[in-house]
Amino acid sequence: MLSGLINLEDGMPTRLLLAAGCAALLAGCQSMSTSSSAAEGMSASGHDPMASAPPVTQGFDADGLSQVLLSELAGQRGDFRRAAEGYLAAADRYRSAALAQRATLAARYTDDTSLLQTTANRWQQFAPEDSAPQELLSGIAVDRGDWPAALQHRLALAAQGQNGQLLALADLAIESGAEIPPLVAQMRQFVASHPDNADAQMATARFEAAGGDVDRAQRRLTRLAARYRQLPELWLTRAQIALEAGDYALAASSAEHGRELAPDDSRFLLALAQAKIASGDIAGAEQQIDQLLARHDDTPGLRIGLAQLYLNADALAPARRLLLPLLDRDDTPPTVYLLLGSIAETGGELDNALLYYRQVPTGPGFIESRALAIRMLVGAERIEDASQFVQIESLRHPTQRATLTQIGIDTLDDAGKPRAADALLTESLNQSPDDAQLLYAQAMRNFARGKVDLMMTQMRRIIADNPKDAEALNALGYTLATTTERYDEAFDLVERAHALKPDSPAILDSLGWIHFKRGDVQAAIRYLQQAYAGQPDQEVAAHLAEALAADGRTDQARTIVNAALGSADSHPDIDKLLTSHPELAPPPAPDSTGRPDAPSPTGQ
C-alpha cells in the first residue's frame, strides 16, 4: 500500500542532500524577486523600494532630466512599469549603468518578466563587471526553466573570478528535471579552460552523473580530491553521486570524511543516514537521525523527509516514531496524516488508517486522503463502509460532494461493482438533486450503457438550468455530432462551449471534429491541432490523423498514429481508425535478418 502513497514524496526529500545547495541559490534569486506582491507590501509600509538605487541628479540635459523626474514620480506613485520604461529609455540615451540599474529595480516590482529581463540585460551590458545583473538574469532564466541560459550567466560570473554557485545551480537543475546533455557540454567546455575552478568541476561531475556517466564523474572528483582534499563540498558531492548510483559503501565513507572536515554540517549526517537506510542498516542509521533531530527538532519537514527515507526501505516502525510527535502541533502538515494513514493501512490497521485520512482538513491533500480511504475500503471488500464514508464526508464537506462521489463511483467501477456505484450516485443525488456535476455523472453513465437518448435529455436539463455549463454543452454537442447527423445543432452547442472555455482541449477536439463532419477539413485540422497540443490522447490523435489523411497529409497522419500507439497499451479509437484507413498503420517490424516480418508460405 505504501506504493500508493509515493506521489506524496514529490517535494519530500529522497534528495534531502539537495536542500542546502538549492536554498543558497534560491536565496540569491529571491533578493531580486519578480513578485508584484513585494511591491505592494513596500508601498503599504511607506518605504521607497528604489531607495537603494544610485543617485541620478547629474549630467542631464533638459529632456533627459524631465524623463528621469517623470520616472521618479511614477515610481513614487507605485506605477513601476512606467518608472522602469522611463529609466530604461534614459539609460539607453546616456548609456548609463546607474539608470539601467534603477530601471531594473523598478521592473522587479511589476509582473512583467520580459520587462525585467530587458532592463537587467541593459544593466549587464552597461556594467559587464557587475555581478548583480548576471545573478538576476540567471534567476529569471531559472524561473523560465531555461537552464542553459541560467548556467551561461553563472559561468560568466565564474569566468570573472566571482562565485558562480555552479554546483548549487546543478543541483537545482537536476532536481527540476532539466535536460542534461546541453548542460554537460557547457560545463565541460568551461572546465577545459578553467581546470582549477573546483565549483565548476563539482558541478560538471553532478551533471555527468545525472546523465548516466557516473564513473567519469567519480574519476573527475578523485582527481579533484588530490588538490582539494580539505574541501567539504567535494565529499558531499561524492556522497550524493554515490547514493544516487546505489554505491552505499562509497556514499557512507565519503560522508564520514566530510563530517570529519565539517562536523557542524548536518548534510553529512543526512548523507550517512541515507546510505545506512538504503543499505538496510536501519539500526545503524538511528544515531545520525537522533543527532539530526537534536539539531533541527523544530523542523516538521525534516521529520517527514526522514520518515519517507524509512518508508522507502519499508521500515514502518521507525517512520511512525518520527511522525507521531508532529500530531501534537497545532499546524500538523497534511502529509503527516497521509503517511501515518498509509503506514497503518500497510500494517492492516484499516480503522486507524481511516482516522488518519479523515483528519486531513480541506485544502492540500484533502482529496488525496479521501481517495486513499475509499480505495482502501473498497479493496478490503467493505463496500457498504465505503459508501457510508462518501456520504458522511459529503455531509461534513458539502462543497466536495460531487468530487467525493465521483471518486467513489470510479473506485467501485474499477473493482467491478457497478451496482454499488449506481447506488452511491443515486444516494448522492437524493441528498443533492440539483447538483449539476452529479447529474452530469449520471448522464455519462447512461451514455456509456448505450442509453444515448436518455443521456441527451439529461444534458438538456443541465443546460436549461445553467446555460453556461461548458462541459454539458460540449458533451451534448459532441454526442449529436457522433450519433446523429444534426451537425448544425451540434456546432451551435459546441461553439457556445468554446466561447466559455476557448482553451479546453476537449472542446477544441469537439469543434474540430464537427468541422470535419461538415466537410471543412482545413478548419477541422486547425482546431484538432490545438486540441492535440493540449491533450495528446488517443481519441484526439485519431481525429487529427483522420483529418490529416483526408487532406492528403498521410505522412503526418501516420506520425500521429505511431505516437498514439506507442503511448498506451489500449487505443480503441486508433484501432477503429486503422480499420478504415489501413494505410496509416506503421510498417511491420523487421525480423532478425533486417527484413519486414512476413507470413511463411505455410501461414505458420
Could you give the CA distance from residue 208 to residue 201 in angstroms, rounded to a whole number?
A: 10
In angstroms, the Cα distances linking 38 to 34, 112, 116, 317 are 8, 14, 15, 44
Could you give the CA distance from residue 15 to residue 271 in angstroms, rounded to a whole number?
A: 10
Question: Which of 23-27, 93-97, 162-166 has maximum average pLDDT?
Answer: 162-166
Query: 109 lies in a domain?
Result: yes
Measured in degrees and rounded to the nearest 5, phi and psi for residue 26 equal -65, -35
Instruction: Give the pLDDT of residue 84.
Output: 80
Mean pLDDT in residue range 76-103: 82
Query: 78 lies in a domain?
Result: yes
Q: What is the pLDDT of residues 81-93, one digit of tens each?
A: 887 888 788 878 8
Which amino acid, 451? K
Q: What is the pLDDT of residues 197-208, one digit of tens each?
A: 999 999 999 999
Looking at the structure of the chain, the number of domains it has is 1
Q: Percent of the chain having pLDDT more than 70? A: 86
Question: How buried is 462 (Cβ within 10 angstroms: 0-12 exposed, 13-18 middle, 19+ buried)?
Answer: buried
- Report residue 319 as a C-alpha cell: 517512520
Query: 91 lies in a domain?
Result: yes
3-state secondary structure 355-381: HHHHCCCCCCCHHHHHHHHHHHHHHCC
Q: At what angle do helices 248-261 and 232-245 cross, to 10 degrees?
A: 160
Could you give the CA distance from residue 226 to residue 589 in angstroms, rounded to a whole number?
A: 52
Contact 88, 105 (CB under 8 A): no
Dihedral angle computed from the Cα positions of residues 257, 259, 265 and 270, in that order, rounded to the nearest 10 degrees: 90
Nearest to 377, CA basis, from 401, 355, 403, 402: 355
Alpha carbons within 13 angstroms on the beta-carbon side of residue 568 total 13
The partner residues of 596 in beta bridges, in order of sequence, read: 590
Query: 121 lies in a domain?
Result: yes
Mean pLDDT in residue range 325-352: 94
Residue 119 has pLDDT above 90, yes or no: no
Contact 321, 343 (CB under 8 A): no
Structural domain of residue 93, as residue ranges?
32-141
Residue 569 has pLDDT above 80, yes or no: yes
Instruction: Give the pLDDT of residue 10.
Output: 36
Instruction: Give the pLDDT of residue 602.
Output: 37
Q: Which residue has the higher pLDDT, 553 or 100?
A: 553
Could you give the CA distance from residue 124 to residue 140 in angstroms, rounded to a whole number?
A: 14
Contact 140, 31 (CB under 8 A): no
Q: What is the pLDDT of residues 272-297, one digit of tens each?
A: 999 999 998 998 898 899 898 888 87
Instruction: Give the pLDDT of residue 5.
Output: 30
Query: 281 lies in a domain?
Result: no
Residue 21 has pLDDT above 50, yes or no: no
Identify the band that residue 61 occupies on the pLDDT scale cut at 50, 70 and 90: low
In angstroms, the Cα distances linking 312 to 1, 7, 227, 269, 339 are 12, 12, 37, 18, 12
- Report residue 301 as a C-alpha cell: 519537514
Could you give the CA distance from residue 527 to residue 540 in angstroms, rounded to a whole number?
A: 11
Identify the band that residue 589 occupies on the pLDDT scale cut at 50, 70 and 90: low
Residue 413 has pLDDT above 70, yes or no: yes
Instruction: Give the pLDDT of residue 517.
Output: 93
Q: How many helices (H) and strands (E) in the chain?
A: 33, 0
Q: What is the rounded average pLDDT for all residues in the chain?
A: 85
Angle at 239 between CA 233 and CA 240, to 5 degrees: 90
Query: 17 lies in a domain?
Result: no
Could you give the CA distance from residue 234 to residue 203 in angstroms, rounded to a whole number?
A: 10
Q: What is the pLDDT of residues 44-60, one digit of tens each?
A: 334 444 455 455 444 56
Identify the band that residue 595 occupies on the pLDDT scale cut at 50, 70 and 90: low
Instruction: Give the pLDDT of residue 63.
Output: 67
Instruction: Give the pLDDT of residue 52.
Output: 53
Mean pLDDT in residue range 15-21: 33
Which amino acid, 441? A
Could you give the CA distance from residue 528 to residue 537 in angstroms, rounded to a whole number?
A: 12
Residue 32 has pLDDT above 90, yes or no: no
Instruction: Give the pLDDT of residue 127.
Output: 81
The partner residues of 590 in beta bridges, in order of sequence, read: 596
Q: What is the pLDDT of residues 170-185, one digit of tens each?
A: 999 999 999 999 999 9
Burial 105-124 (b: 16+ CB within 10 A, else e): bbbbbbebeebbbbbbbbbb
Q: Which residue has the higher pLDDT, 202 or 103?
A: 202
Residue 588 has pLDDT above 50, yes or no: yes
Nearest to 369, CA basis, from 339, 414, 400, 332: 339
Query: 72 lies in a domain?
Result: yes
Q: Percent of the chain having pLDDT more than 90? A: 62
Instruction: Give the pLDDT of residue 353.
Output: 96
Q: What is the DSSP letter of 4?
A: G
Angle at 285 between CA 281 and CA 290, to 5 degrees: 160
Residue 316 has pLDDT above 90, yes or no: yes
Q: What is the pLDDT of residues 378-401, one digit of tens each?
A: 999 999 999 999 999 999 999 999
Identify the band that residue 403 occupies on the pLDDT scale cut at 50, 70 and 90: very high
Instruction: Give the pLDDT of residue 64.
Output: 64
Could you give the CA distance from residue 302 to residue 119 in angstroms, rounded to a whole number?
A: 39
Residue 561 has pLDDT above 70, yes or no: yes
Could you give the CA distance from residue 165 to residue 132 in angstroms, rounded to a whole number?
A: 13
Could you give the CA distance from residue 294 to residue 556 in angstroms, rounded to a whole number?
A: 61
Query: 565 lies in a domain?
Result: no
Residue 429 has pLDDT above 90, yes or no: yes
Q: What is the pLDDT of residues 478-519, one digit of tens each?
A: 999 999 999 999 999 999 999 999 999 999 999 999 999 999
Give the contacts of 349 (CB within 8 A, at least 6 positions apart): none
- Report residue 573 as a C-alpha cell: 479509437
Nearest to 508, CA basis, from 520, 490, 495: 495
Contact 255, 268 (CB under 8 A): yes
Residue 41 has pLDDT above 80, yes or no: no
- Report residue 102 as a C-alpha cell: 534603477
Q: Which residue has the higher pLDDT, 568 or 549?
A: 549
Could you give the CA distance from residue 501 to residue 155 in angstroms, rounded to a whole number?
A: 44
Identify the band that residue 230 occupies on the pLDDT scale cut at 50, 70 and 90: very high
Instruction: Give the pLDDT of residue 591.
Output: 54
Q: Which three-class secondary structure state does DSSP give residue 596?
A: strand
Instruction: Give the pLDDT of residue 75.
Output: 74
